[in-house]
Chains A and B, each alone.
Chain A
């Protein structure tokens, strides 16, 4: 079993008594993964991330990062963790380089590291500009540069593409992908956009109203999605179609020439077509329906 970078054990949290924000969250985030933490606004993503970073106080939250308990080993854990929570945290009256200098001292890394992270995030030319003159994309990149200063093994990023234009989103996505693939960083990235997570993540956790509704690899999510999809087939004889398929598949007649057939894997489509044609049914159209992740996401959170 691969070592988990982050594990939570029945994580609960309430800001006020009786008002439970997180309910029995059991995260398991493998090392080396890009874990997409997905959920609509107000689902509990930021609260979870704030607990992971020790920004919310909980006596025994059951959080283990690199196998160490949080908050008991807070400083050791934070030495190995870079973070970006909500919007970028930058001193707007200071330059990009000065911002990095402030945090370089906190992370105890050599002065050369400032130039390196500026280069990684493509901000070398803007290093001497005050950050209040930066675009949102540049601020986001500088915030990532701060998170990377101490070359952490784990990056925790809360909605890093929030508010960015399409170019900015692509840039940040490429940067995160590169950090994971070429620098071996484990990345936890939260988002309310499934399409964003789908393009980036190797693992996905879906949270809604403080509960973790799904957790697994992206492939498992896609397989889960497959189980929720069906084939829509246009045929010249729906009665005969039902006779041929009903022994192996669930068939629902949807009109004079249309049937919906449940299936579990891509190869089933070929088999169904073969069975129908072999049985003398003319197939004029066959397509997979209900397979978009957005729909699945909505199905999961509204289940």
Chain B
């Protein structure tokens, strides 16, 4: 059973080959570091002061703030749609469902591909951030990035927390992408849900809204509010489990296979 699931998951990776999903992963990861290199080199007068104390941590936060709030949710919405649309576009769902695979195998093997792409995106992004830091320092040594060692611990911590925060969104988007043949619907719903989260940021029940978890995981100062980390971690895991369960149940018991 495990072997078959593994084999089918490798089959799902073959399907993603030569698709735009891989390019999107690289380009989305490169986008913010590239822009920030230009900003840092253009405005040292404003930014040098901020980088004096902890240059690498400041540089990581400078990059991650845009990614945690905007780019990562956008990337998840787009990449999930792209992966699922491979089946709709090629009219292959019926062949997939007519093969001797359990519904769980079909559902989870594709979810694994998405869950692999998101960490790959984060790894690529972290890699580009490091390279961007080194490039900035080499072009303007006043930033003193190479004067101190890279703060790997902080980078890993930010990455893991934001990834945990975005897991439920990736499953909800996967569900929406499976539910609607027309990719515009899943895309529009995803964007709408994300914008709603931004609008409702100050709502006291916002902790029940998964689309803001990745932003909260980055922006909340857990040194000052450590209890918030526990609440957010529990909320993220609960939302992940619930969304996975509901999505799987709904897809398994749909009256018609696409």
Contacts and interface: CB of A to CB of B under 8 A. Distances in A.
Chain A residues touching B, range: 20 to 34
Nearest to B4: A108
Given A75-B102, A106-B11, A57 B256 contact: yes
Given A94-B17, A98-B17, A102-B11, A56 B98 contact: no
Closest 9 CB pairs of A and B: A89-B95, A106-B99, A78-B100, A105-B11, A105-B7, A89-B92, A55-B257, A79-B100, A102-B11
Contact of A105 (B8, B19, B91, B97): B8
Given A90-B92, A105-B7, A106-B11, A56 B101 contact: no
A163 B96 CA distance: 23
A98 B14 contact: yes
Nearest to B101: A106
B115 interface: no
Contacts of A83: 95, 98
A57 B103 CA distance: 13
A117 interface: no
Interface of B: 4, 7-8, 10-11, 14-15, 17-19, 86, 90-102, 253-257
Contacts of B101: 75, 106
A101 interface: yes
Contacts of A94: 14-15, 17-18
Interface majority SS (helix, strand, loop, mixed), chain A = mixed
Given A87-B91, A89-B91, A107 B99 contact: yes
B15 A54 contact: no
B256 A106 contact: no
Contacts of A92: 90
B102 A103 contact: no
Contacts of B102: 75
Nearest to A57: B255
A53 interface: yes
A81 to B, nearest CB: 8
A93 interface: yes
B174 to A, nearest CB: 19
A92 to B, nearest CB: 6
A92 B85 CA distance: 13
Which of B11, B95, B253 has the largest number of chain A CB atoms within 10 A?
Answer: B95
A106 B90 contact: no
B97 A89 contact: no
Nearest to B8: A105
B101 to A, nearest CB: 5
Contacts of B18: 93-94
Nearest to A158: B94
Contact of A75 (B93, B100, B256): B100
Given A89-B90, A91-B92, A101 B14 contact: yes
A85 interface: yes
A106 B109 CA distance: 11
A108 B7 contact: yes
Contact of B98 (A15, A85, A91): A85
12 contacts: A55-B97, A56-B256, A57-B256, A83-B95, A85-B94, A86-B91, A86-B94, A91-B90, A102-B15, A105-B7, A105-B8, A105-B11
Contacts of A56: 255-257
Nearest to A156: B98
B21 to A, nearest CB: 11
Interface string A38-58: 000000000000100111110
